[in-house]
């Protein structure tokens, strides 16, 4: 069936906006007064815990308390989140809106929850994107006039209620399945980390004799292993910090700190380039080679990955080094991404907003390692074990994606009348 289309202005009776006030970036407790953060609607629903405590000197300036059965809409946000909305279930007397959020009250003929579900559809997002074209790529603003001009399907009130109840019920079931997959992915990540940590600190034979370790995060390790500072294991260290290459639209791929993940280089995380003519100058400190290890020194700190393409350029906030012959590069990457080595990094890191590490501190960190032959056996074991875990995680991620797509399609079909969810409908 097809529902009539109406402009949003015909289903809205009031739009309120709050006030920008100074606040402490901590959620409210007890009877404290709070102001909502824009993230309160970033996940597609209203989350009252996403708030900040209002500075006591600013209490007289707060406005627009949160009321029940209203739509909270983000009028200013990133392109993906501008126009994001949530539906309030009740009044919050000590919670107020900032100036970047609207509180929308629907007319008597409109069911607020139905309007909320429409605002979760691709049809709504397409209208938001079309209106915001040409504005900032990092922060966009949605005007009230543009918002009120959007077209939406508008069945009778009884059907709106039926659709809302149907979507509440059906999406809750899908969300529960998505939640199970998320929890499974979390458990798999924990298992992966534990598998790696056990292998790179205890080896593969649990019957081996052990001795105490001087590293606080390792109680003991196999007696025939070696424990040394990193300066005994590495050579050819190059720190690229302070070298800011001129970026171009194409040329030689530039590996930035965003590309270096724990264990691999993610070429999709950031796509930046340097000119071919500028490459020699950019890499004058030292070119990468297969077998080199990359490390991020800040934002984020402590991601280690193997160089898998020697033809790339390296950006600042990245250092590279080559393990000596007694340390297999892949074993080193497994070990350095493990909890005991990461804990050493964090202990020596500095910085108030983003943790960073001086390159001179890297050589102080301690590593435990067996013979080269045993390292190779451990690498083979971890490649196989983590590969199986990663395969299960990918399957869960695929399932989550399919469930999310199913959820979105169901919302759109119900709101637009492609499926009839009324009781007794054929």
Q: Which residues pair with 105 in a beta bridge?
A: 14
Question: Which residue would you say has higher pLDDT here, 406 or 238?
Answer: 406
Q: Which residues of 8-20 are buried (b: 16+ CB within 10 A; e: fewer)?
A: beebbeebebbee
Q: How far apart are CA 247 and CA 371, in angstroms?
A: 43
Banded pLDDT at 280 (limits 50, 70, 90): confident
Structure tokens at 268: 């999709």
Model confidence pLDDT, tens digit, residues 92-146: 989 999 999 999 999 999 999 999 999 999 999 999 999 986 656 678 999 999 9
Structure tokens at 388: 């199986």
Q: Are 67 and 110 in contact (CB under 8 A)?
A: no
Secondary structure element (H or E) that encloses residue 101, with its range: strand 101-106
Please state whether beta strands 313-314 and 252-255 pair in parallel, antiparallel, or not at all (unpaired): parallel
Model confidence pLDDT, tens digit, residues 20-41: 999 999 999 988 999 999 999 9
Please state whether beta strands 5-7 and 12-17 pair in parallel, antiparallel, or not at all (unpaired): unpaired
Q: What is 5-154's CATH number?
A: 3.90.220.20
Interior CA angle at 329 toward 328 and 335, to 5°?
Answer: 90
Residue 45's CB is within 10 A of a number of other CB atoms, namely 16
Kindly tell me if the per-residue pLDDT of 373 is higher than 70.
yes
Q: How far apart are CA 336 and CA 366, in angstroms?
A: 10
Kindly tell me if the per-residue pLDDT of 424 is higher than 60.
no
Q: How far apart are the first and last CA of the chain?
A: 12
Percent of the chain with pLDDT over 90: 81
Mean pLDDT, residues 363-383: 96
Q: How far apart are CA 229 and CA 368, in angstroms?
A: 9
Strands (E), 271-316: 272-274, 293-297, 301-306, 313-314
Average pLDDT of the residues of the chain: 93
Banded pLDDT at 354 (limits 50, 70, 90): confident
Burial class (CB in 10 A: 0-12, 13-18, 19+), 168: exposed
Q: Which residues of 46-78 are buried (b: 16+ CB within 10 A; e: fewer)?
A: bbbebbbbbeeeeeeebebbbbeebbbbbbbbe
Q: How far apart are CA 413 and CA 115, in angstroms?
A: 14
Q: Which residues pair with 38 in a beta bridge?
A: none
Mean pLDDT, residues 222-234: 94
Cis peptide before 300 (omega within 30 of 0): yes
Q: Would you say the CATH fold of 204-369 matches that of 5-154?
A: yes
Q: Are 51 and 29 in contact (CB under 8 A)?
A: no
Interior CA angle at 345 toward 339 and 348, to 5°?
Answer: 140
Q: Kindly list the domain boundaries of the chain, sorted by start residue.
A: 5-154, 204-369
Q: What is 204-369's CATH number?
A: 3.90.220.20
pTM metric for this prediction: 0.84
Q: How far apart are CA 397 and CA 399, in angstroms?
A: 5
């Amino acid at each position: 069936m097809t529902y009539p289309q109406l402009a949003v202005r015909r289903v809205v009776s009031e739009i309120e906006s709050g006030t920008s006030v100074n606040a402490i970036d901590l959620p409210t407790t007890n009877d404290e007064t709070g102001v909502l953060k824009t993230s309160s609607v970033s996940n597609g629903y209203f989350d009252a815990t996403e708030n900040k405590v209002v500075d006591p000197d600013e209490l007289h300036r707060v406005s627009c308390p949160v009321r029940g059965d209203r739509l909270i809409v983000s009028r200013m946000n990133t392109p993906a989140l501008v126009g994001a909305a949530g539906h309030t279930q009740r009044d919050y007397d000590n919670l107020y809106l900032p100036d970047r959020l609207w509180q929308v009250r629907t007319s008597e003929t409109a069911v607020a929850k139905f309007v909320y579900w429409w605002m979760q559809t691709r049809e709504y997002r397409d209208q938001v994107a079309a209106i915001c074209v040409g504005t900032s790529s990092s922060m966009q603003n949605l005007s009230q006039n543009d918002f009120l001009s959007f077209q939406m399907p508008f069945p009778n009130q009884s059907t709106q209620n039926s659709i809302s109840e149907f979507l509440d019920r059906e999406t809750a079931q899908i969300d529960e399945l998505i939640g199970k997959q998320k929890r499974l992915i979390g458990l798999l990540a924990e298992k992966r980390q534990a598998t790696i940590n056990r292998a790179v600190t205890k080896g593969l034979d649990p019957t081996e004799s052990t001795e105490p370790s001087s590293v606080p995060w390792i109680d003991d390790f196999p007696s025939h292993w070696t424990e040394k500072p990193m300066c005994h294991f590495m050579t050819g260290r190059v720190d690229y910090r302070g070298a800011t290459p001129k970026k171009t639209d194409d040329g030689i791929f530039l590996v930035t700190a965003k590309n270096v993940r724990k264990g691999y280089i993610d070429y999709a995380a950031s796509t930046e380039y340097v000119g071919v003519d500028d490459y020699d100058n950019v890499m004058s400190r030292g070119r990468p080679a297969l077998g080199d290890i990359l490390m991020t020194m800040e934002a984020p700190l402590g991601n280690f990955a193997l160089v898998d393409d020697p033809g790339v350029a390296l950006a600042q906030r990245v250092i590279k080094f080559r393990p000596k012959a007694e340390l297999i590069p892949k074993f080193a990457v497994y070990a350095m991404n493990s909890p005991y080595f990461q804990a050493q990094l964090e202990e020596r890191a500095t910085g108030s907003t983003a943790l960073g590490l001086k390159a001179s501190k890297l050589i102080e960190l301690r590593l435990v390692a067996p013979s080269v032959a045993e390292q190779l056996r451990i690498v083979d074991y971890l490649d196989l074990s983590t590969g199986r875990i990663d395969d299960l995680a990918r399957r869960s991620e695929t399932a989550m994606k399919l469930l999310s797509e199913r959820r979105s399609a169901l919302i759109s079909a119900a709101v637009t009348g492609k499926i009839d969810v009324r009781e007794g409908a054929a």
